[in-house]
């Protein structure tokens, strides 16, 4: 299956279990891989045979910046669900949500949740 990848989209959101995360917010990065047939778009050079990735970006932004979740797993699930519901040409999606600076007393370079969902 062909795919379109939107990498390292950067947003500011208020997701987390700790009250400080919900009040102060933090930066999140999101990657999405959109699986859909692209041959017709490639041979015709017409936008109608693909998805407008600017619109997909806006859909992801709405989920990250317009909602609050305790878990980035729930955020990833919401992104996947909304994209599949909105863009019927997409057969499958992989979503990665990266929280680069989780508020823990340990040192590591962020945490990433990755999910893959297919159209029913």
Residues recognised as catalytic: 99
Measured CA to CA, the distance from residue 79 to residue 102 in angstroms comes to 20
Name residue 114's beta-bridge partners.
96
Q: Which of 45, 23, 8, 34 is nearest to 89 (CA)?
A: 34
Residues recorded for the chain: 120
> DSSP alpha helices (H): ranges in 1-120?
19-24, 39-44, 53-66, 72-86
């Amino acid at each position: 299956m062909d795919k379109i990848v939107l990498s390292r989209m950067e947003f500011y959101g208020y997701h987390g279990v700790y009250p400080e995360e919900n009040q102060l917010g933090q930066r999140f990065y999101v990657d999405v891989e959109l699986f859909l047939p692209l041959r017709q778009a490639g041979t015709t050079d017409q936008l109608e045979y693909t998805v407008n990735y600017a619109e997909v970006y806006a859909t992801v932004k709405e989920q990250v910046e317009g909602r609050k979740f305790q878990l980035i797993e729930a955020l990833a699930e919401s992104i996947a669900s909304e994209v599949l519901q909105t863009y019927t040409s997409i057969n499958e999606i992989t979503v990665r949500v990266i929280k680069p600076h989780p508020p823990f007393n340990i040192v590591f370079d962020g945490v990433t949740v990755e999910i893959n969902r297919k159209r029913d």
